Amino acid sequence: MAKEFVNRKSAAGRKAYAKILKRIAEDSVCPFCEPNFLKYHTLPILKKGVHWIVTENMNPYKGTKTHVLFVHRGHLEDITKLSPAAAAELFKLARWIKTTRKLPGAGLFMRMGDMRYTGASVAHLHANLISGAVQDTHEPIAVTLGFKK
C-alpha cells in the first residue's frame, strides 16, 4: 500500500477542501513538505522560522476569525521526533501571533502520529492556532482531536 500523507475523511463537510485532498492523495506527495507546500498552499507565508513556516489556514474551521498554521519545515509525523529547539520556536511563534493580532484568547493544538486516531488531514507535523468570538451567546468551534472509545 502506498504511503498515506493525507486523510481524506477529515474533510467531511468541507467540499473545496475535499477536492484539494483528493488531488494531493492522487499526487501521492506530502503536501506540507517544501516545495510541495507552496504548490498547494496559495496564501502568503507570514513568517519562516528556522523550524516552522507560519501561514493562514486555507480551510479555516467554521466560526474562526483567526486560524494560523505552523508547519514544521522538515518532514516529521510525531512529536517524539521534534527537537527541543523546534518546540521552543513553536511557542515563540505562537506568542508572536497572539501578540501581533491582539488576540484576547486563542487555542493552540497539535495532532501527532497515526491520523486514524486524531482526525488530522495531513500527517506532516503541524500546529493550529485558532480564535473566534467571545463566548456569550456564541456556539463553540468544533475541532476533532480524537475519537471516543
Q: Is there binding between residue 6 and Zn ion (CB under 5 A)?
A: no
Rounded least distance, CB 54 to Zn ion, Å: 16
Write the CB contacts of 79 (distance below 8 Å, at least 6 apart in sequence): 110, 112, 113, 125
Q: Is there binding between residue 70 and Zn ion (CB under 5 A)?
A: no
Write the CB contacts of 145 (distance below 8 Å, at least 6 apart in sequence): 109, 111, 118, 119
Q: Which helix (H) or strand (E) holds 98?
A: helix 84-100
Q: Is there binding between residue 53 and Zn ion (CB under 5 A)?
A: no
Q: Which of 6, 11, 30, 112 forms a contact with Zn ion (CB under 5 A)?
A: 30
Give which of 89, 73, 143, 134 is closest to 111, Cα–Cα. Answer: 143
Q: Which of 124, 125, 128, 132 forms a contact with Zn ion (CB under 5 A)?
A: 124
Cα 130 from Cα 55, distance rounded (Å): 12
Q: Is there binding between residue 33 and Zn ion (CB under 5 A)?
A: yes
> For residue 40, how far is the Cα from the chain centroid?
14
Rounded least distance, CB 3 to Zn ion, Å: 10
Rounded least distance, CB 123 to Zn ion, Å: 7
Smaller CB separation from Zn ion, 29 or 103: 29
The residue ranges that bind Zn ion (CB under 5 A) are: 30, 32-33, 75, 124
